[in-house]
Structure formats: structure tokens, C-alpha cells
Amino acid sequence: MTVFPSHYRHQSYDSVVSTNALALEAGQRGEMGNLWITACEQTGGRGRRGRAWISKTGNLHASLLLINPASAAKISQLPLVVATAAHRAICEALAPNLRAQVSIKWPNDLLMQDRKICGILLEGSNRSNGDQIVVIGIGINCRTHPSQTDGLGAANLSQGGFDIDPDILFPLLAQQVDRQISSWRQGAGFDDIRRDWLLRARGVGKPIVVRLPNEELHGHFEHLDDDGALVLLMDNGSRRKIMAGDVFWPQT
């Protein structure tokens, strides 16, 4: 049985609007960091760029509150840190023959056979004393999924032949997040995280499409830079550093 990390606290609810919202509120109230909040369902879960996140009972909905986890310049690395942790947790839960089906889509979506099974959303604010509040929201489709999310098909773990209760998956996730954050060391250990991420990634070295708010870019996913940005080798030979965007595969 997986042991929940002892230096973290956990608050569990039946139904909430948003675990991320609760964690942000807790941070503003002066709560210490290392607080996990989970719920059986969310009535107003959200994803990146304000998109809705379907949050039905049977899936895992969890948010982690951190206070001053790193310098502002290093916070952009956290999505990749947490993506490797979520990938590790899911693969630990799955049967060995299913693990190769799971991959990471830059920066932090998890896919099973190219369909989304996990989304990660980082949000933050500041306290009046200058402390930085960072909340990491993680949603994993264990037993149900929407028809589509963020322009991708969606899936759930039970479709892959492995039905897992979110209460069993959560301690695995909490343990792996703790391990990866500890390895990250506020950015000092990002080289190891970067290598770990690349081993689990989908599309490195291959053609991709990156959709930005005002343009669509086509090229090859060349590598990750030292900050975790995607380096796109454009068709004209130039390179673009992408800090935020939606990655897709070219239609064939």
C-alpha cells in the first residue's frame, strides 16, 4: 500500500466548485504550503485558458498548494516537473503491458494512445507580504471522459483495461509529485527532470503544429531548452522558442 507523504496535509471533499479555487483561497488565508485538496467531483472545474474541465465522480480531481516553491524565473518549469510525476504515478498503477501507451504532450498533458487522460493547470497569486502562492491542479480520467478536450480526443484509464479507484491513485500521485519536486530542487535539478520528461514525451524530433492565440506554427519539435520551453525548428530553417501554446500533430 502506497504511503501518503507525511510532510503533506490532505483535505478531501465530496463536491466542490473547483479544487484549485479552494487551494488558492487557502493560500490567501495564510495556509502553509504542502496542502493537497481533493474532491469526488467538481461542478466548475477549469482547464488552461479558462476552458471547462469535466469533473465527474469516478475520476481524480486534486490540487496542491505550494508557497514560495522557487524563484519566479523557475516556476515555468513546474508544469514539466508535475507532468513527469503524473506519468510515473499512472504507469505505476497500470499493468506493465499498458505503460508504453502513456506519453506526455508538451508541456503537461498526458495521453493514452494519443487521447488525453490527464490535464494539469498551474495557477498563482501573491500574498500581501509578497509570498508567492502556486496551485497545481491535476485531473486524471480514471473511469469517465468527455468526448473531446482541447481539440484532442479523450480517454480514461478503465478503457485501457485497468479500472482504478481515484482514492488508490491519489497516494501514488502525491508520492511521485513529492519525489519529482524534491529532485527538481527549486530548479537546480531541472536537467534531470528535463531528461526524464523527454523520455516520456510524444512528438520529439517529429513534425508538430503549435497553435498560439494569433497564429499557427508548423515545424519539428527539436528539443526542450534549459527552461523547459519548446524549441520549434520551422520549415524555413529558423527556430522559435515556445513558452506557451497548444501542440497538435499534422493531419495525414
Q: Tell me if 2 is assigned to some domain.
A: no
Q: Tell me if 1 is assigned to some domain.
A: no
Give yes or no: residues 175 and 222 share one domain: no
Q: Tell me if 40 is assigned to some domain.
A: yes
Q: What is the pLDDT of residues 128-165, one digit of tens each?
A: 999 999 999 999 999 998 876 666 889 889 876 778 89
Q: Tell me if 131 is assigned to some domain.
A: yes
Average confidence (pLDDT) over 102-128: 95
Own/partner pairs, 50-58, CB within 8 angstroms, 24+ separation: 51/149, 51/150, 53/119, 53/121, 53/139, 53/149, 54/144, 54/145, 54/146, 54/149, 55/139, 56/144, 58/142, 58/143, 58/144, 58/166
| Residue 183 confidence (pLDDT) | 98
Q: What is the pLDDT of residues 192-238, one digit of tens each?
A: 999 999 999 999 999 999 999 999 999 999 999 988 999 999 988 99
Give yes or no: residues 119 and 230 share one domain: no
Give yes or no: residues 134 and 152 share one domain: yes
Domain with residue 65: its CATH number is: 3.30.930.10
Average confidence (pLDDT) over 88-116: 93
Give yes or no: residues 192 and 235 share one domain: no
Copy the grid coordinates of residue 239.
527556430
Give yes or no: residues 182 and 223 share one domain: no
Give yes or no: residues 69 and 163 share one domain: yes
Provide the CA 220 distance to its chain's centre, in angstroms: 23
Q: Tell me if 194 is assigned to some domain.
A: yes
Give yes or no: residues 186 and 67 share one domain: yes
* Structural domains counted in the chain: 2
Domain with residue 230: its CATH number is: 2.30.30.100
> Residue 169 above 90 pLDDT?
yes
How far is 181 from 178, CA to CA, in rounded Å? 5
Instruction: Name the residue range of residue 37's domain.
Output: 9-200
